[in-house]
Amino acid sequence: MSVNANAILSFLSIFLLMSDPPEDTILQCLSLHSDPSYPIYTVTYFSNNPSYPSILNSYIRNLRFTAPTTHKPLFIVTPTHISHIQASIICCKRFQLQIRIRSGGHDYDGLSYVSQSPFVIMDMFMMRSVEVNMEDETVWVDSGSTVGELYHGVAERSKVHGFPAGVCHSVGVAGHFSGGGYGNMMRRFGLSVDHVLDAVIVDAVIVDAEGRVLDREQMGEDLFWGIRGGGGASFGVIVSWKIKLVPVPEVVTVFRVEKTLEQGATDVVHRWQYVADNIHHGLFIRVVLSSVKRKGQKTIRAKFNALFLGNARELLRVMSDSFPELGLVGEDCIEMSWIDSVLFWDNFPVGTSVEVLLQRHGTTEKFLKRKSDYVQQPISKFGLEGIWNKMMELEKPVLALNPYGGRMGEISEMETPFPHRAGNLYKIQYSVNWKEEGEDVANRYLDLIRGLYDYMTPYVSKSPRSSYLNYRDVDIGVNGPGNATYEDARVWGEKYFKRNFDRLVEVKTKVDPSNFFRYEQSIPSLAGSGLRIMSE
């Protein structure tokens, strides 16, 4: 873009910032377009409302975005009725405000609640019914629900049903499902999106001054495909999801086993790479690697966390046949119900009441950064030793290795926008957390995690180096201000979606040509660009 156009754009945005439409005008618009039996002003919070700061902050899960310098929304709307969503879209369009849609608020880079342009937060936390229907083993779950509320609702009704989704109970279903959603049953059942049957979305199209509310049949298979892994916020506001439950045994088994370098961690992790994606599909063994001190000496600790969909006797047989190197013994194994295994994996002590799954807050928030990679070839012992040295040098960053294979390898890359299926041994999550405030500190920690990510380049997927959308990472590329071009968005888009990026662009161009739903990593619309995607 030329300097001139840039100058005009920034002049325009300053102009818009200075001339925020008055509160009354906005409220009039909102009221006019929503159902008067559910007065929208009672769920609309401008910055002069005493509840504004607490509502804004209650779903900020990364303290980096609570700084006073972080851009704040003009107002927050917390819909309790679908017409509140329709009215917000109509009025935000009219006043040229962007909408950030927030469900659980776990977006690692804060894209569900921060924007550089004048914006509004639509926070879904009031809409969270979980309607379990045991007759056809389905659930209608509202977007504002957490996966914990979903698991709780299912466990209340059945001991032999579960759902394959994330491990942390406070994750919101809408961000989670619309980005794929994986958990410790993925080798047996695939992702959350592989079990979505229907959804309800409000898109940006306005007919006779009313926003459209579409279910699967009305939205069509292309958009329904797009929201199952392409990120919901490029397409509209997803209100609820219909999912199919999966069968789980009455007794499952979990274990946690640790090895340091002195206890042979290198050999065991090396071996794990050959085993974890091939082993019994009901067995998921995650490895968490961190740099720790033992007796004053730095070492690497490998924690093996497992869920097995079966009893301990069967698990011990599987392990002694396929992975004797870990040395698992009967005392390591704990048998429990599936719902208790959910609590165990979420780090609650054994015996904790299932009711904690309903807590939406409680964990202390941190400053954090996450990144992701996919590994397709086992890393040699020599390679692992180099990684250990790098980790001990950097100290802070932690790696979590999540095995693929099983059901994941049986589903085509094109089935949903989430493309990381066959051919992947495991996914890496890089994480760094810190407690100190300030930008210098943050930059120091960001450098550490980026340093480790760079170091890993030779060992991970290439052309493109893939990333998982739900491990949101703005380092891999972002759209500029205004309408992103296809070329700009492709930089990050192919990392998340590989060849599915093009189909997502087609869907976007069809359902939101004017690019109303846009943010730093939204799918671009080709409308008005003169470009077309060539479908094969």
Ligand X SMILES: *[C@@H]1O[C@H](CO)[C@@H](O)[C@H](O)[C@H]1NC(C)=O
Residues that bind ligand FAD in the complex, under the rule CB under 6 A: 61, 100-108, 111-112, 124, 143, 166-168, 171-172, 174-176, 178-179, 181-183, 231-233, 237-238, 470
Among residues 516, 526, 458, the alpha carbon closest in space to that of 493 is found at 526
d(CA 276, CA 218): 41
- 10 Å Cβ neighbour count for 217? 9
Residue 106 or residue 259: which is nearer to ligand FAD going by CB?
A: 106
Cis amide leading into 464 (omega within 30): yes
CB of 111 to ligand FAD, least distance (A): 5
483's contact among ligand X, ligand FAD, none, with CB below 5 to 8 A by partner kind, is: ligand X
d(CA 29, CA 26): 5
522's contact among ligand X, ligand FAD, none, with CB below 5 to 8 A by partner kind, is: none
> What b/e readout covers 254-281, taking b as 16+ CB neighbours within 10 angstroms?
bbebebebebbbbebbbbbbebbbebbb
515's contact among ligand FAD, ligand X, none, with CB below 5 to 8 A by partner kind, is: ligand X
d(CA 277, CA 272): 9
In the complex, residue closest to ligand X by CB? 528
CB of 518 to ligand X, least distance (A): 8
Q: DSSP assignment of 41-107, as one string?
A: GGGEEETTSTTHHHHHHHT--BGGGGSTTS---SEEE--SSHHHHHHHHHHHHHTT-EEEEESS---
CB of 21 to ligand X, least distance (A): 17
CB of 419 to ligand FAD, least distance (A): 15
527's contact among ligand X, ligand FAD, none, with CB below 5 to 8 A by partner kind, is: ligand X
Residue 171 or residue 252: which is nearer to ligand FAD going by CB?
A: 171
Distances in Å between the Cα of 400 and the Cα atoms of 57, 286, 370, 428 are 28, 7, 11, 6
What are residue 485's phi and psi, to 5 degrees? -85, 160
341's contact among ligand FAD, ligand X, none, with CB below 5 to 8 A by partner kind, is: none
166's contact among ligand X, ligand FAD, none, with CB below 5 to 8 A by partner kind, is: ligand FAD
Q: DSSP assignment of 275-340, as one string?
A: HTTTS-TTEEEEEEEEEEEETTEEEEEEEEEEEESS-HHHHHHHHHHH-GGG---GGG-EEE-HHH
528's contact among ligand X, ligand FAD, none, with CB below 5 to 8 A by partner kind, is: ligand X
Residue 490 or residue 518: which is nearer to ligand X going by CB?
A: 518
Among residues 112, 95, 56, the alpha carbon closest in space to that of 234 is found at 112
Residue 99 or residue 257: which is nearer to ligand FAD going by CB?
A: 99
Residue 121 or residue 319: which is nearer to ligand FAD going by CB?
A: 121
What's the chain's length in residues? 536
d(CA 168, CA 426): 19
CB of 507 to ligand X, least distance (A): 16
Residue 411 or residue 527: which is nearer to ligand X going by CB?
A: 527
Residue 266 or residue 521: which is nearer to ligand FAD going by CB?
A: 521
Residue 101 or residue 265: which is nearer to ligand FAD going by CB?
A: 101
- Which residues make up the interface to ligand X (CB under 6 A)? 482-483, 513-515, 527-528
Which run of H or of E encompasses 401? strand 398-403
Residue 158 or residue 483: which is nearer to ligand X going by CB?
A: 483
CB of 143 to ligand FAD, least distance (A): 4
Residue 276 or residue 384: which is nearer to ligand FAD going by CB?
A: 276
CB of 66 to ligand FAD, least distance (A): 14
CB of 509 to ligand X, least distance (A): 9
CB of 512 to ligand X, least distance (A): 10
CB of 346 to ligand FAD, least distance (A): 9
232's contact among ligand X, ligand FAD, none, with CB below 5 to 8 A by partner kind, is: ligand FAD
185, 187, 190, 192 alpha-carbon torsion, rounded to 10°: 20
514's contact among ligand X, ligand FAD, none, with CB below 5 to 8 A by partner kind, is: ligand X
CB of 486 to ligand FAD, least distance (A): 20
Among residues 440, 438, 408, the alpha carbon closest in space to that of 424 is found at 408
* 3-state percent breakdown (helix, strand, coil) of the chain, nearest 5: 40, 20, 40
Which run of H or of E encompasses 258? strand 252-260
Q: DSSP assignment of 125-170, as one string?
A: TT---EEEETTTTEEEEETT-BHHHHHHHHHHH-SSEE----SSTT
482's contact among ligand X, ligand FAD, none, with CB below 5 to 8 A by partner kind, is: ligand X
Residue 356 or residue 531: which is nearer to ligand X going by CB?
A: 531
Structure-token match 């004797």, residue found: 324
526's contact among ligand X, ligand FAD, none, with CB below 5 to 8 A by partner kind, is: none
